[in-house]
């Protein structure tokens, strides 16, 4: 099963990557959205990209989506590991994968059924000659909207790769 995902996160300058929110879209249509209820916004400079581009789209610490980082990891594990032969896919996904792994401590602590690698849609696009990808019509930098777009981009590249008449987004 392919899982398309995206994290919004804050790089803590040598102190790890702090998750803000995460969205997952499974190939079978299931979706998951969570926010870090305990993210400390006071560590983010007021002129930082996250203030204008992520914070306005969050549901907030009192929402049904707000969980601890431990709960975030456990919920992701339950969401992904109910299927077999799982693949994780993201767009420019290196930091997303590190953010995911850090939910479990060290990478060697990743639960069974969660892949140790995230496959990258951007790299797949480059392999295919860098075709223009579909436009994202939902808000950008909302983890679930970005995960939905990741699936849309992968679907597009899959059709493109098989030469089924796709000439543009």
Region 126-145: mean pLDDT is 95
Question: CA nearest 99: which of 2, 3, 11, 1?
Answer: 11
* Cα-trace Rg, the chain: 16
**31-36 and 17-26 strand pairing:** antiparallel
Number of neighbouring beta carbons within 10 Å of residue 78: 12
Q: Which CATH superfamily is domain 2-161 in?
A: Ribonuclease H-like superfamily/Ribonuclease H (3.30.420.10)
User: What pLDDT is attached to residue 168?
Assistant: 45
pLDDT, the chain, mean: 93
Lowest mean pLDDT among 6-20, 25-39, 135-149: 6-20
Q: How far apart are CA 18 and CA 36, in angstroms?
A: 9
3-state class of 59 per DSSP? coil
- pLDDT for 167 beyond 60: no
| Nearby residues of 42 by Cβ (< 8 Å), 6 or more positions away | none
Backbone angles phi, psi at 162, to 5 degrees: -90, 0
User: What pLDDT is attached to residue 25?
Assistant: 98
Q: Where are the beta strands (DSSP E) in the chain?
A: 2-11, 17-26, 31-36, 66-67, 87-90, 118-120
Domain positions in the chain are 2-161
Question: CA nearest 123: which of 150, 92, 98?
Answer: 92
């Amino acid at each position: 099963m392919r899982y398309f995902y995206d994290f919004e996160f804050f790089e803590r300058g040598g102190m790890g990557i702090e998750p803000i929110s995460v969205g997952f879209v499974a190939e079978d249509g299931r979706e998951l959205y969570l926010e870090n209820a305990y993210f400390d916004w006071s560590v983010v400079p007021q002129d930082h990209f996250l203030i204008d581009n992520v914070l306005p789209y969050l549901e907030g610490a009192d929402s049904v989506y707000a969980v601890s980082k431990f709960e975030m990891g456990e919920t992701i594990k339950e969401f992904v590991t109910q299927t077999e032969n799982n693949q994780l896919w993201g767009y420019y996904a290196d930091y997303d994968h590190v953010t995911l792994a850090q939910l479990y401590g060290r990478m060697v602590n990743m639960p069974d059924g969660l892949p140790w690698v995230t496959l990258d849609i951007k790299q797949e696009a480059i392999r295919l000659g860098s075709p223009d990808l579909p436009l994202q019509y939902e808000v950008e930098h909302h983890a679930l909207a970005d995960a939905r777009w990741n699936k849309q981009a992968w679907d597009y590249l899959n059709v493109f790769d098989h030469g089924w008449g796709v000439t543009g987004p």
